[in-house]
Amino acid sequence: MRKSLIITALALVFLAGNAFAGGKGAVKVDFDPNVGFVNLNTTASGMLIAAVHIDSGLPNDDYSVTVRVRYEDGSKDIFNDIATLTTNGQGRGNAQVQVDINPPAGSNTLRRIAVRVEKANDPVYLAIAWDIPLK
């Protein structure tokens, strides 16, 4: 009985913590075509973090990672070739990028984020997210 009360209490604490976070956790977005995904998150210090995972790309290849951010007022930042993602013999690879974002005063979301992973324009993998909350 006591064990189930402890488990219930821990579950309630977890749920309450998620509710107070206001949905400001990482957002997972699949690439098109479906070769992997990117997890997007923001930090309180003004960073956008993109954890990129390719699961079925070309084996033993290097890809360039570009991030484009559009803010609520329509302005944008483009971060070209900010990282290299290298796949292994099975076509899997990871890269994590962090960029300083500059949202206009009073903004509470990043309106649109596009993460592009490409190799000399062929192939190009694209993941687009809308309305990522700022912390």
Residue at 60 is within a domain: yes
How many C-beta neighbours within 10 Å does residue 29 have?
A: 19
3-class DSSP state of 28: strand
Domain range enclosing 102: 24-133
Residue at 105 is within a domain: yes
Are the C-beta atoms of residues 46 and 100 closer than 8 Å to each other?
Answer: yes
The pTM for the full model equals 0.80
Residue at 11 is within a domain: no
Residue at 3 is within a domain: no
Residue 16: enclosing H or E segment and its boundaries? helix 2-21
Q: What pLDDT digit, counting tens, does each position of 59-111 carry?
A: 999 999 999 999 999 999 999 999 999 999 999 999 999 999 999 999 999 99
Residue at 70 is within a domain: yes
pLDDT for res 111: 96
pLDDT for res 122: 84
How far is 88 from 12, CA to CA, in rounded Å? 42
How many structural domains are present in the chain? 1
Average model confidence (pLDDT) for the chain? 85
Angle at 40 between CA 72 and CA 16, to 5 degrees: 95
3-class DSSP state of 21: helix
CATH label of the domain that carries residue 74 = 2.60.40.770
